[in-house]
Structure 1
Amino acid sequence: MSVRNILVINCGSSSIKFALVNEKQSTFPLQGLAECLGSPEAVIQWQIGEAKETLSLPGADHAAALAKILPLAQEMAGGRLDGIGHRVVHGGEHFTGSSLIDASVLDAINTNAQLAPLHNPANLIGIEAAMSLFPGLPQVSVFDTAFHQSMPEYAYRYAVPEFLYTEHGVRRYGFHGTSHRFVSQRAAEMVGVPVDDSSWLVAHLGNGCSTCAVVNGESRDTSMGLTPLEGVVMGTRSGDVDPALHMYLARTLGWSIEQIDSMLTRDSGLKGLSGLSNDMRTLHEAYEAGHSGATLAFEVFCYRLAKSLASMACALPRVNGLIFTGGIGENSSAVRARTVEHLKVFNFQVDAQANARCTRGTAGQIQTEGSPRILVVPTNEERQIALETLALLDA
Structure 2
Amino acid sequence: MTGTRVLVLNSGSSSLKYQLLDMRDSSRLAAGLVERIGEQTCRLKHTPLAAGGDAREADGPIADHDAALKAVAQELARDGLGLDSPDLAAIGHRVVHGGMFFTEPTVIDDAVIAEIERLIPVAPLHNPANLTGIRTARALRPDLPQVAVFDTAFHTTMPESAARYAIDPRIADRHRIRRYGFHGTSHAYVSRATAELLGKAPEDVNVIVLHLGNGASASAVRGGRCVDTSMGLTPLEGLVMGTRSGDMDPAVIFHLARVGGMSMDEIDTLLNKRSGLFGLCGDNDMREIRRRIDEGDEAAALAFDIYVHRLKKYIGAYYAVLGTVDAVAFTAGVGENAAPVREAAVAGLEGLGLAVDPGRNAVRGDRPRIVSPDAARVAVAVVPTDEELEIATQTYALVGKNT
The TM-score with structure 2 as length reference comes to: 0.95
* Pairs within 5 Å for 1:374-389: 374-389=380-395
Is the CA contact 1:171–1:226 (under 8 Å) kept in the aligned structure 2? Answer: yes
1:82 aligned counterpart, secondary structure = strand
Aligned equivalent of 1:167:
174
Question: How far 1:3 moved relative to its partner?
Answer: 6.3
1:43 is aligned to: 43
**1:345–1:76: structure 2 CA closer, same or farther, 3 Å change rule?**
farther
The answer as to whether partners of 1:96 and 1:146 remain within 8 angstroms in 2 is yes
The answer as to 2:69 corresponding to 1:66 is yes
Aligned to 1:182: 189
Identity of matched residues, %: 44
Q: For the residues of structure 2 that align with 1:252 and 1:270, how far apart are their CA atoms?
A: 25
Taking a change above 3 Å as real, the CA distance of residues 99 and 26 of structure 1, as seen in their structure-2 partners, is closer
2:261 — aligned with what? 254
Identify which range, 164-173 or 202-211, moves more after superposition. 164-173
**Count of residue correspondences:** 393
Does residue 52 of the first structure (1) align with residue 49 of the second (2)? Answer: no
Alignment pair present for 1:278 and 2:284? yes
Cα distance in 2 for residues equivalent to 1:239 and 1:34: 29
Measure, in 1, the Cα distance between the counterparts of 2:70 and 2:200. Answer: 44
Aligned to 1:23: 23
Alignment partner of 2:356: what SS? coil
| Residue of structure 1 equivalent to 2:14 | 14
Distance 1:5 1:72 in 2: 16
- Partner deviation per Cα, 1:29-88 (whole Å, 9 max, x = no partner): 101111011111111101113510012231421111011113444654472311000000
Where does residue 311 of structure 2 map in the other structure? 305
Asked whether the equivalents of residues 198 and 215 of structure 1 are also in contact (C-alpha less than 8 Å), the reply is yes
Structure 2 partner of 1:366: 371
| Alpha-carbon distance in 2 for matches of 1:107, 1:3 | 28
In the TM superposition, what is the alpha-carbon distance from 1:344 to its structure 2 partner? 3.1
**CA shift for structure 1 position 24:** 3.0
Distance 1:57 1:135, change over 3 A: farther
Q: TM-score, normalised by structure 1?
A: 0.96
Task: Determine helix, strand or coil for the equivalent of 1:334.
Answer: helix
Secondary structure in 1 matching 2:40: coil
DSSP 3-state at the match of 1:10 = strand
Deviations 1:131-160 (A, max 9, x none): 000110100000000000000000000000
Cα RMSD for the two superposed structures: 1.4
What secondary structure does 1:374 align onto?
Answer: strand
Q: Distance in 2 between matches of 1:33 and 1:83?
A: 19
CA distance in 2, matches of 1:166, 1:364: 42
Shift of 1:310: 1.3
Q: Does 1:141 align with 2:160?
A: no
Partner deviation per Cα, 1:314-360 (whole Å, 9 max, x = no partner): 3314211100000000000010001111433312111011001134x
Matched with 1:231 is: 238
CA distance in 2, matches of 1:2, 1:72: 23
Query: 1: CA distance between counterparts of 2:309 and 2:351?
Result: 14
| Post-superposition offset of 1:294 | 1.0
Give ranges in structure 2 of 5+ residues lacking alignment. Answer: none
CA distance in structure 2 between the partners assigned to 1:156 and 1:197 by the alignment = 24
Instruction: Return the letter of the residue paired with 1:53.
Output: R
* Aligned twin of 2:5: 5
The change in CA–CA distance for 1:71 and 1:217 in structure 2 (over 3 A counts) is farther
Task: Assess if the C-alpha contact under 8 Å between 1:3 and 1:22 holds in 2.
Answer: no
Shift of residue 25 of structure 1?
3.7
The corresponding residue for 2:398 is 392
Contact 1:3 1:24 in 2 (8 A): no
Aligned-partner Cα distance in 2 for 1:106–1:294: 44
What secondary structure, in the 3-state scheme, does the structure 2 residue paired with 1:83 have? Answer: strand
